Each structure stands twice: as structure tokens, then as C-alpha cells.
Amino acid sequence: METKIYDASTIDEAAELLKVGELIAFPTETVYGLGAIASNDEAVKNVYKVKGRPSDNPLIVHVSDRKIAQYVAFVPQQAEALMEAFWPGPLTLIFPMKEGVFAPTVTAGHNTVALRMPAQEQTLELIRKTGFPLVGPSANTSGKPSPTTAQHVLHDLSGKIAGILDGGETQIGLESTVLDLTNADGPVILRPGAITEVQLEPIIGKLAGSAQTTNEAEAPKAPGMKYQHYAPAQPVILIDGTAADWEGVIEEYRGKGKAIGILASEEQLAVHKAAARATYSLGLKDDVAAASQRLYAGLRYLDEQPIDVILAEAYDLSGLGKAFMNRLEKAASSKYPKKQAK
């Protein structure tokens, strides 16, 4: 199968392929999604197959407007307020499922469904022209860093999907916040993202908490809760320490004859760049938005370099840093020092 690149002028062709069950990757403001029409169970099953995604990991459904009553069993008042504030945008909401609307495979056996409206006009037009919402998990091989350019998608899925709608580089670079509105104790963040608790609580009141992981026996209610994600082939060592900690880890791996890659801020690279075979800048240390936007591209870049290990810099857990660290911790095989990241 040849994977064709589409743009704004050829959206009609991409939509026609989706209608007949083909897979088309599409851009969003977060990462690229692997699209299939959410009413076609064979197409949705093919998304799992192409990605190598576990079958108990549910998919997010992408809609083109806020008129969602036809897709869910109930739209709570909180959801109306959240959609008004953040849609289109990087917020996924989990609703009680309406029977017979989406293909059974979409929800992975749950009685809930996750919806979001992406802030990407080409993709909204693609959904409108397809005539039905699209599933859209990250358009990569499952477990690997998510794609933030069409070229990243092509690297992973060339020859496996019908096409890619090229919308350029994504702006945010981390997947959406997932908020569960069906929790009996109140709304719960299942996956942190660019929309934070500080932004949500003035609109809907205090959240009931967060539940960003699940155990091996449970089926995850949202993507990113159970399985290792975002990881390149090389081990990623997350360093949350002093200059002496960095020097100690670098000397340890150099002593073992290992070629080092470093994923870090400009400030950290200025000190340690000479010790590495390859580096990728996350931008200035106080710009977590830049670090988040560059994270997956950096992991992908270093994955292609002749190195044995990636040393990655930890960021503070405030604001967007919580989502950044959620992804980086899932990519990491170990932390140094052996303590909770800040």
C-alpha cells in the first residue's frame, strides 16, 4: 500500500477514503492522530492492528463541533461549561456511552466514551467531510514517541495506512488532558495535558483527584494509563538532580564505554554537551511549553543516533510540567537519583 500525503486542497479525497474504511492520519494541536471512521468496527480494529495497540486500551473520538448529544447517553452541565471554555482544544471528556452509536471496538468494553474537538481547522474539515466522528489515537507504533509531524507518521506507518493529512508541526506536542465526568465522586483527571487543574477548577469546582495509572489486571479507562509509552529503543535515564548528579551519571556510562545522548534544556547542554555524542535541546529551562512541544521530536531524533543511552532532564511538576513529566517518566527506564521527580 502506498501512503499518500494530503493537504488542504485534497481533503475531499482523504474523506472519501475514510468513508470506505481506510485509515488516514491527521494533525491536531497536540499530536498526529491515526484516523478511522468511528462507526466502522473493521476500520477501528485495523487501527489497533496497525499500531500494535493492546485491545483493552480505548480510543478517543474526535468530533467537529460541540453538538454531541447524539453521540453520548447524557451531557452533564459541567460538560457544557467545559466545552464552552476549552473546545476546540486539548481537553478530552469522558461521557456515558450511548448504545449503537460507535463501533464496539472504540470503547474497548467500557460503558463510557471519550470525546474531544481538536483545535486544527484542516482536521475539523476532514471530520465534517467524512460525515461522522473519527477515532484518533497517536499515529505511531504503539509504545513509541508520539508523532508531531507528518514525517514522523510516515516513518512509523508508511505502507500501512492509506494517507496522511499534512498540517505541519503540531503546536502543543503532548496529548490532550483526559477528564472523566462519569466518576461517582466527581471529575477526575485520567491523563494530564495542556489544560490543567488550575484552569478546570474555576469552571467546575474542585476535582475529585487524578488517577493516571492503573494496575495490570484492570482495563484502562483512557489512553496512557497502563502501558509503557513514548519510549525510544535506547534506555532513557531521567535525571532529577544537581550538577554533581549529572556528572556522576555521565562518568558512569562513559566508564562503561557507552555513547551518550542528552535531551535537556539549553542551560544543561551548555555544561554537558561535550560529553555527549548527540544532543537535542528542549529550549530554555523556564519555558516548559517549548520543552513539551519538543519532547517527542527530541526522543525520535535521538532514537536515530548512534548512541546507547539517553540522559533526559527532569522539569518541575507545576502547570504544564505535570504533563511533560508524565510523558517523560513513562518513557524512562530509570530515574537518578532514586527519588520522586520534583
Indicate the annotated binding residues for ATP. Answer: 53, 57, 112, 138, 146, 191, 230
- Pairwise CA distance, residues 153 & 163, whole Å: 10
CA atoms within 13 A on the CB side of 218: 11
**What order do you get walking across the sheet with 260-264 strand by strand?**
278-281, 260-264, 309-313, 236-239, 334-336
Helix (H, G, I), strand (E, B) or coil at 159: coil
Contact 145, 296 (CB under 8 A): yes
- Pairwise CA distance, residues 57 & 250, whole Å: 37
Contact 197, 113 (CB under 8 A): no
Binding positions are 30, 53, 57, 62, 112, 116, 138, 146, 176, 191, 230
List CB contacts of 89: < 8 A, sequence separation 6 or more. 29, 117, 118, 119, 194, 195
Binding positions for L-threonine are 30, 62, 116, 176
Give strand pairing partners of 114: 60, 94
Helix (H, G, I), strand (E, B) or coil at 237: strand
